[in-house]
Amino acid sequence: MTAVTLENDQTTPVAASESGFTAELGRRYAHLFEDFYQHPFLSGLRDGTLAPEKVQHYVGQDHQYLSAYVRCYGLGLTLAPDREWMRYFHERTGFLLDDESEAHLALCARLGVTYEDAQVERLAPSAKAYVDHMMEAGRDTLGTLLAALLPCPWTYIWAADRYAHAEPIQDDHPFAGWWRFYADDSCLQMLEEMRAKLDAVAAQAGPEERARMELAFELSVRHEIRFWQMAWSLETW
Ligand SMILES: Cc1ncc(C[n+]2csc(CCO)c2C)c(N)n1
C-alpha cells in the first residue's frame, strides 16, 4: 500500500508543495476553511437535508451579495494599473453577471420557486457587514481589494472540489447543480489565476501593505462562515 500524500488531499486548502503569499495565508487560516466546510448549512447542502426556507433565505441574500461583488470589480477597475488588469476585471464581471446565477437557479429549481420570488429588498446584517468589508478594501490598494475578494471563490471552490472528491456527485443529489457548478474545472482555473495575480501583487508590496492584505483576507474568510450562519439562522434586522 502506498501512503496517501498531502499533495492530493483536498481536506486542506493548500498542497504541501505550494509556496507564495496566498499559500501562506491558506495554511495560516486552514482552521477557518475547516470551520467553513463543517458549518451545518454546508453540511445540509452536502447531505441534502437543508430546510427549504434556509436555502431560499440564502439565495435572496446571495443575489445581493453577488451584485456587491460586481461593484467591487468596478473598484478593481479604478485601481487597475494597466489594461491587462482592466481586462481581468472586465472578464470576471462578465462571468459573474452571466453565469454565476446558474448556481442560484439550481437551488431555486429544487425549491420550486422562481428566482424572482427568492429576491429580497435588504441585506441581512451579516451579509451587509461582509459587503461593507469588501467595499472598504476597495478604497485601499489593489492588493488589499484582491485579498478581500479571494476567500469568496477560494472557500466555495475548494469546498466543492473536496466534496466532489470525497463523494462523486450523483444526478439525483438534491443540490447537484449547485455542487457541480463550483466543482467545475473552469472554477478551479479561475481560482488559480486569481491566486497567481494576488501572489504577484504581494511580491511587490511592502510589509505594511501585506499586513493589511492579510487582515482583509482573514476577515473575509470569517465573513464567509458568518454568511452561512446568517442563512442558517434566517437572520434579519
Ligand atoms: C457569500 C458568497 N461567497 C462566495 C460565493 C461564490 N462566489 C461568488 S462570486 C465568485 C467568483 C466570481 O465568479 C464566487 C466563487 C457566493 N456565491 N456567495
Residue 152 Cβ < 6 Å to ligand 1: yes
Residue 73 Cβ < 6 Å to ligand 1: no
* Pair 163, 169: CB distance under 8 Å: yes
Residue 95 Cβ < 6 Å to ligand 1: yes
- CATH of 41-232 among 3.40.50.300, 3.60.15.10, 1.10.15.40, 1.20.910.10: 1.20.910.10
Per-residue pLDDT tens digits for 78-96:
999 999 999 999 999 999 9
Per-residue pLDDT tens digits for 54-68:
999 999 999 999 999
Residue 222 in grid coordinates:
470569517
Checking ipTM against 0.85, whether it exceeds it is yes
Tell me: pLDDT of 6 over 80: no
Residue 227 Cβ < 6 Å to ligand 1: yes
Three-class SS of residue 100?
coil
Q: What are the structural domain ranges in the chain?
A: 41-232
Taking the C-alpha atoms of residue 52 and residue 45, their distance in angstroms, rounded to an integer, is 11
Which distant-in-sequence residues (6+ apart) come within 8 Å of 120 by Cβ? 60, 61, 63, 64
Tell me whether residue 140 is exposed, middle or buried, using C-beta atoms within 10 angstroms of its C-beta: 0 to 12, 13 to 18, 19 or more.
middle
* Pair 65, 224: CB distance under 8 Å: no
Residue 3 in grid coordinates:
501512503
Q: Give the distance (Å) from ligand 1 centre to CA of residue 1.
A: 39
If one residue of 70, 128, 150, 156 were mutated to test the ligand 1 pocket, choosing by the most ligand atoms within 8 A of its CB, it would be 156
